[in-house]
Amino acid sequence: MAFEQGKLARMAPRMTESSKPVYQQVADWLRQMINAGELPPGAQLPTEKELSERFDAARATVRQGLTVLVNEGLIRPSRPRGYFVRGHELMYYRPQAEWRPHPTSPEMDRWMEEQTTLGREPSQKITVEIIKAPVRVATRLELGDDDLVVARRRVRFLDGEPFNLNDSFYPLELVQGSEIVNPADVARGTNQALTDLGYEQVRAIDEIESRMSLPDEVTRLELPIAAPVLVHRVTGFTADDRPVRHTLNVLIGSKHVVLFERQKNMGK
Amino acid sequence: MAFEQGKLARMAPRMTESSKPVYQQVADWLRQMINAGELPPGAQLPTEKELSERFDAARATVRQGLTVLVNEGLIRPSRPRGYFVRGHELMYYRPQAEWRPHPTSPEMDRWMEEQTTLGREPSQKITVEIIKAPVRVATRLELGDDDLVVARRRVRFLDGEPFNLNDSFYPLELVQGSEIVNPADVARGTNQALTDLGYEQVRAIDEIESRMSLPDEVTRLELPIAAPVLVHRVTGFTADDRPVRHTLNVLIGSKHVVLFERQKNMGK
DNA sequence: TCGTATGGATTGACTAGACAATGGCCTTTG
DNA sequence: CAAAGGCCATTGTCTAGTCAATCCATACGA
């Protein structure tokens, strides 16, 4: 019953901040090791057993501490091998790029170069549905609750890994019979297709929010657990201010940076 | 020991999806009640005891399920009163607004003015430091690791509640001796102050990412627990492409929507 | 040599308790 | 009537286990 080793081990990390709950001490200790680089991305953490001995705590307690770090996105459990430090390779995501094929000032390039020019393998899965407009879509497309929209859903992959969800909605009456309803790649882009139909978009509103991923997003993005996601919504308007497209982008928060560039005295 | 009531109660929610772990069933059941509006914002959830009886599970198990919802930001524990459904009043946050002309009183800066218009009680705490530029700041301001910057840190409150963190960094040599180094409100705005110093910003790059809040952000924002935050960085450039300001905004994810508007074929 | 069992280590899920901490409510007291 | 104190329901922290599921490596067999 008595556990001499345990008492000694307890001295080390636990005394320093004796007021805090033990599970937080565990989390703090590991977090600091990770931030200091002592546990680099990919490194394996001490096992639950080792931690419970080192902190002289029950396994459930160190587990509670590990859960904190998992929820923070710092570590990833890989059963039954152990916990590993997550690496975060950031992708830059530029909503403005859809209208500016070759934009970017030299400043931006410096930050992007490292990540963007890695020669990745993109692919996507497309499905198309005709559905009643969900509330948030109907609002933005200025439709009634019973109006139909074409929902063009894409899961985009990079090197085989799910990268984001990209669902676009179009009022059915505008695109019926066009290639947009066809669940295949539109080579020249759906925006060009809309233009060809007489609905060129000249203005867009971008909305960006952040929340935890929903259960079905966890599935589609093949996430190990719920993680923060960036939700990016675009509503495209024609010259006469008619909304003709709404796109819902769900990006894995830890993997993306959304980038905008703006200039003073541009509009009006 | 035997608990007849428990057996009966178990029938109801637990049988339906017997394959899933119980803690997930608890989370799913409550989540659905919340989404369906049966538990509206502000409503109190069943207590842990009630849930453990209803699902015929140990308290630790239903607690695990409740933790999921807390991490998703759906509910908020209020000890010792119980768990409550979180309401989400969204604020629109418009980075582009900082360059619109100042219409009204010069007494308030732009943010405070906007909020007052909306009938809120804004306030802020400002502190100013002179520090070595943190890596992410130094990179964007094109400074060396040892160069000094003025860090102007603000915590903004709305109706007494912390709302976001807003830290701006300026190369020391540009602003030394100016009012920017003074930890008081700059009535006409720090951007105007920079302009007056000969460094008008005509271009900006916005970066937006999402992650879980760090421990010190949890403290400063007085969050009950770690929650997803939106991190918004702005780098401001002069006409000759010199970066003169970097701002780091930390927004509580569940409370903000970042809004951009863009126009086709406007610039260049 | 090439699969094919078989263990072992590790995390996942869960139980049945204990005690501490806290905020609200009610009672008592001045 | 108002302030002070104590009760109590509820969550926070933690223990000490059990059994299940999974991946990896090792040993075994054809």
pLDDT tier, B263 (very low <50, low <70, confident <90, very high otherwise) = confident
Q: Do residues A137 and A149 make contact, with C-beta atoms less than 8 angstroms apart?
A: yes
Contacts for B104 with CB less than 8 Å, ≥ 6 apart: B113
Q: pTM for the full model?
A: 0.72
pLDDT at residue B104, rounded to an integer: 46
Give me the mean pLDDT over the B72-92 stretch.
Answer: 84
B166 or A122, which is more confident? Answer: B166
Contacts (Cβ under 8 Å, ≥6 apart) of B174: B194, B197, B199, B244
Say yes or no to pLDDT of B169 above 60.
yes
Higher pLDDT, A113 or A67: A67
CA nearest to B214 within chain A: A72
Beta bridge partners of B135: none
What per-residue confidence (pLDDT) applies to B214? 77
Three-state SS annotation for B84-140: EECCCCCEEECHHHHHCCCCCCCCCCHHHHHHHHCCCCEEEEEEEEEEECCHHHHHH
A215 three-state secondary structure: helix
What is the pLDDT, as a whole number, of residue B123?
A: 74
> How high is the pLDDT of residue B243?
96
| Alpha helices per DSSP H over A16-90 | 22-35, 48-54, 59-72
- Count the alpha carbons within 13 Å of A62 in the hemisphere toward its beta carbon: 20
Per-residue model confidence (pLDDT) at position B152: 95
* Chain A 73-102, CB < 7 Å to strand D: 79-81
Is B226 an 8 Å CB contact of chain A?
A: yes
Work out how many CB contacts closer than 8 A connect A with B.
140
Hey, how many other C-beta atoms are within 10 angstroms of the C-beta on B201?
A: 21
Q: Which residue has the higher pLDDT, B29 or B98?
A: B29
pLDDT for residue B216: 77
Q: What is the pLDDT of residue B1?
A: 32
Mean model confidence pLDDT for chain A = 80
Better-predicted residue by pLDDT, A192 or A12: A192
Which of A82-91, B5-14, B149-158, B168-177 has the weakest average pLDDT? B5-14
Between A170 and B157, whose confidence is greater? Answer: A170
CA B78/CA B100 separation, integer angstroms? 41
Q: Which nucleotides of D are covered by protein (CB under 7 A)?
A: 9-18, 21-24
Residue A223 touches partner B, C-beta closer than 8 Å: no
| pLDDT over 70 percentage in chain A | 79
Mean pLDDT, residues A22-26 taken together: 94
Secondary structure E strands in B141-181: 148-158, 161-171
Q: Which residues of B touch A254 (CB under 8 A)?
A: 210-211
Q: Is B178 left (phi over 0), alpha (psi -120 to 50) or beta?
A: beta
Cα torsion B59, B61, B67, B69: sign: negative
All residues at 6 or more sequence positions from B63 whose CB lies less than 8 Å from its CB, including other chains: B48
B18: confidence class by pLDDT, cuts 50, 70, 90: low
Give the separation between CA B201 and CA B242, rounded to whole angstroms.
9
Phi, psi of A217 (to 5 degrees): -70, -35
* Contact between chains at A208 and B71 (C-beta distance less than 8 A): no
Give the nucleotide at minimum CA-to-C1' distance from A46. C10
Statement: residue B198 has pLDDT above 60: yes
Please give the Cα distance from A161 to A62 (Å, whole number): 31
| Strand A256-263 relative to strand A91-93, pairing | parallel
User: Which is higher by pLDDT, B214 or B5?
Assistant: B214
B46 touching chain A per CB within 8 A: no
Over residues B68-95, mean pLDDT: 84
Omega within 30 of 0 (cis) for the link into B162: no
Residues of chain B in contact with residue A96, where contact means CB-CB under 8 angstroms, are 262
* pLDDT bracket for residue A111 (50, 70, 90): very low
Write down the pLDDT at residue B55: 95
pLDDT tens sequence across B210-250 = 887 877 787 777 776 667 889 999 999 999 999 999 999 99
Separation of B218 CA and C24 C1' (Å): 26
Does residue A209 sit at the B interface (CB-CB below 8 Å)? yes
pLDDT confidence of residue B111: 64
pLDDT in the model for residue A102:
35
Render pLDDT for A194-206 as a digit per residue (tens, 0 to 9). 999 999 999 999 9
State the average pLDDT over residues B141-159: 89
Q: Are B253 and A206 inside 8 Å of each other by CB?
A: no
Strand C footprint nucleotides (protein C-beta < 7 Å): 8-18, 21-24
Which residues are in reach of strand C, CB within 7 A? A 45, 47-49, 59-60, 63, 77, 79-83; B 21-24, 56-61, 64, 79-81
Is the pLDDT at A140 greater than 70? The verdict is yes
Task: Report which secondary-structure segment, H or E, holds A242.
Answer: none
User: Would you say how long chain A is, in residues?
Assistant: 268
The average pLDDT across B91-99 equals: 76
Average pLDDT over residues A150-174: 84
Contact, B67 CB vs strand D, < 7 Å: no
Of the candidates B95, B210, B262, the beta carbon closest to that of A96 is on B262
Whether A34 contacts chain B with CB within 8 A? no
Mapped onto helix, strand or coil, the DSSP state of residue A87 is coil
Higher per-residue confidence, A170 vs B68: A170
Return the pLDDT at A19: 72
pLDDT digits (tens, 9 = 90+) for B112-130: 666 555 555 667 889 999 9
A115 pLDDT more than 50: no
Mean pLDDT, chain B, rounded, equals 82
Q: What is the mean pLDDT of residues B127-152?
A: 94
Residue B162 has a pLDDT of 74
Residue A166 has pLDDT above 80, yes or no: yes
Name the minimum distance, in Å, from the CA of B266 to any CA of chain A. Answer: 7
Name the residue in chain A with its Cα closest to that of B225. A68
CA atoms within 13 A on the CB side of A92: 21
- Asked if A17 CB < 7 A from strand D, the reply is no
